[in-house]
Amino acid sequence: MRAPAHFAHRSIAAAAGITALTLLLAGCTPAAQQNTEPTAGGTLVYASGDAEPTCLDPHVGGNYPQALIATQYLESLVSKDADGQIIPWLATAWEPAEDGLSWKFQLRDDVTFTDGTPFNAEAVQANVEHLLDPATTSSTGYLALGKVASTDIVDEHTIRFNLSTPDSALLDSLSMPWVAIQSPTALARGMDVNCESPVGTGPFIVTDWKRQDSITLVRNDDYNSPPADAEHDGPAYLDEIVWRFIPDSASRFAALQSGQVDVIDNAQPSDIAAAEGQGITDLDAPRPGASNRIELNSGKAPFDDIRVREAFIRAADVNDGIEALFFGTADRSFSVLSSVETLGLSAEEHFGIDPDAANALLDEAGWTERDGDGYRVKNGQRLSVDFPVSTNQSIPAEQSLFEQIQAAVKQVGFEVRLKPMDLSSWYSTLIGNDYNLVSAPYTKVGPDVLRILYHSDSITPAPSGYFANLAQLNDPEVDALLTEASQVTDADERAALYAEVQELILSGFYALPLYDQQNHFLVGGNVSGLRAMPTVSTPTFYDAWLAR
């Protein structure tokens, strides 16, 4: 701060529980494999290639690097199991009102934050207020709780959420780490202090942050509140986690191979292939919500013309690049939703490669001339499009894919200006509307991510300044369908509405789907019990242990 469907006319297979598989990961020798009993103690070293968070409080902003580490020390009201069903966590039970305009949550009465503050309804209320306060500059959490108008404390361990309109995605939203519950005492310290050392109820505690190097997490010895699908009770097995930041993918993989680190993220496809036979396991946990896709900014020229959008997509041959660059670790997607999302619509017919059709569309749109470099020109203006690329979020293989797309669309006359930049500069570029194309991963549990990404309300920035509708799709029909889908509770009706809106998005050529948001964690042979959370596919080290 990633499509199967119920529809017979257009579908692909899905496994909703793919992100939730518990991996009892094998050691690198037969002797290590025989050690199946968890062993307490030890320091696990995790190396991230994602951007180092600027704030460890995921309420502030709300990007995936924050979710990765916050999963270790913050907890949510609810979680999901491997089948995608909502299960208890800090809330033990919940009930919506008949009109859908309020939800009552029963909370655990035996949990304490690691600073000694009791977990209760007052704490939950303070967190909701923190998320919705513009001064917090939240994006992901703010949008997720956009329909929460207020909360009422019913009693010490019961809270009611009052909604502006019914929200069929509320439980999905509450399962995410960007709305996880923090100590109200810690929140009151102010943003700067809380960003350095947020306080939760989770199995680990933030103790030290060495900028541009590492964050140290130590075990919470009083921990007693795992989600309902955890493998054990009580404190975590590990004494400590050292969370290192190693931006270079080759250096991360070498550190894993040499045993300097135990787990790495953002693994390169070539490294995943090379890891086979080395006692290293690939934990493949694609993210829920949106697929990895390129959004076309329809809010300004040249992509405000559907003919130009379609021409770009008809010319952008990505299949060969995915096959060559990803070594079988990523499958081509034809959906704006992740394969994890069972209501995703896969529409391959909109993405056939046809340079002749692309040329004809550009001629029809008035881009009939070419300059000396082969790019199309209209009224003296070259057909140039700016494509900012976050080098923190796009692994080298993906950046190479973008270069192949750049070369492919040049054949029909597009000049794509790829602009690699760090995450902070990338956000600033998007906020300034200084882009025509963008690959912007967005993770949210459930198909309601479509409302966040494509409803015209999301062209208005969140308090952080970020707006999620980067395609700048502004269509009253799309808005009406998304609004209705977010309110209905009938499963079949909801599925039909989401199918209809996805067809409008895909047939309008607002996005070019690529593949699932990639989450490949390479895990050393000395690590057992690691799994990805079934919510947003972040690793949880609560059940993990070291055999060495």
CA angle 92, 93, 95 (to 5 degrees): 160
- Asked whether 391 and 399 are in contact (CB, 8 A), the reply is yes
CA 200 vs CA 64, 127, 160, 186, 190: distances in Å: 18, 11, 21, 9, 15
CA 24 vs CA 46, 102, 401, 527, 540: distances in Å: 17, 40, 34, 8, 13
Query: What would the pLDDT profile of 434-475 be if each residue is shown by its tens digit?
Result: 999 999 889 999 999 999 999 999 999 999 999 999 999 999
Confidence at residue 235, expressed as pLDDT on a 0 to 100 scale? 98
Confidence at residue 508, expressed as pLDDT on a 0 to 100 scale? 98
pTM of the predicted structure, to 2 decimals: 0.90
CATH for 292-515?
3.10.105.10
Which burial class, exposed, middle or buried, applies to 114 when counting CB atoms under 10 A from its CB (0-12, 13-18, 19+)? buried
Confidence at residue 26, expressed as pLDDT on a 0 to 100 scale? 34
Q: Strands, E, within 3-114: which ranges?
A: 43-48, 78-80, 86-88, 91-96, 102-107
pLDDT at residue 46 greater than cutoff 80: yes
pLDDT at residue 291 greater than cutoff 80: yes
Rounded Cα distance, 69 and 55, in Å: 11
Query: What would the pLDDT profile of 254-281 be if each residue is shown by its tens digit?
Result: 999 999 999 999 999 999 999 999 999 9
- Asked whether 2 and 291 are in contact (CB, 8 A), the reply is yes
CATH for 18-285+519-546?
3.40.190.10
- Asked whether 147 and 164 are in contact (CB, 8 A), the reply is yes
pLDDT at residue 50 greater than cutoff 60: yes
Query: What would the pLDDT profile of 128-156 be if each residue is shown by its tens digit?
Result: 999 999 999 999 999 999 999 999 999 99
Rounded Cα distance, 247 and 390, in Å: 13
Query: What would the pLDDT profile of 426-436 be if each residue is shown by its tens digit?
Result: 999 999 999 99
3-state secondary structure of 336: coil
Q: What residue ranges do the domains of the chain occupy? A: 18-285+519-546, 292-515
- List the one residue out of 342, 249, 350 whose CA is nearest residue 293: 350
Rounded Cα distance, 391 and 387, in Å: 12
Query: What would the pLDDT profile of 75-102 be if each residue is shown by its tens digit?
Result: 999 999 999 999 999 999 999 999 999 9
Which burial class, exposed, middle or buried, applies to 471 when counting CB atoms under 10 A from its CB (0-12, 13-18, 19+)? buried
- Please provide the DSSP assignment of 225-289 as one string: ---TT-S--SS-S-SEEEEEE---HHHHHHHHHHTS-SEESS--HHHHHHHTTTT-EEEE---SS
Tokens of 18: 């793919």
For residues 340-367, give the mean pLDDT. Answer: 97
Alpha-helix runs per DSSP H in 289-366: 306-315, 319-325, 355-364
What is the pLDDT confidence band of residue 21, given thresholds at 50, 70 and 90? very low
Query: What would the pLDDT profile of 307-334 be if each residue is shown by its tens digit?
Result: 999 999 999 999 999 999 999 999 999 9
Tokens of 93: 């039970």
Rounded Cα distance, 162 and 147, in Å: 8
Residue-averaged pLDDT of the chain: 93
For residues 418-431, give the mean pLDDT. Answer: 96
Tokens of 503: 């067809």
Confidence at residue 35, expressed as pLDDT on a 0 to 100 scale? 61
Tokens of 38: 């968890």
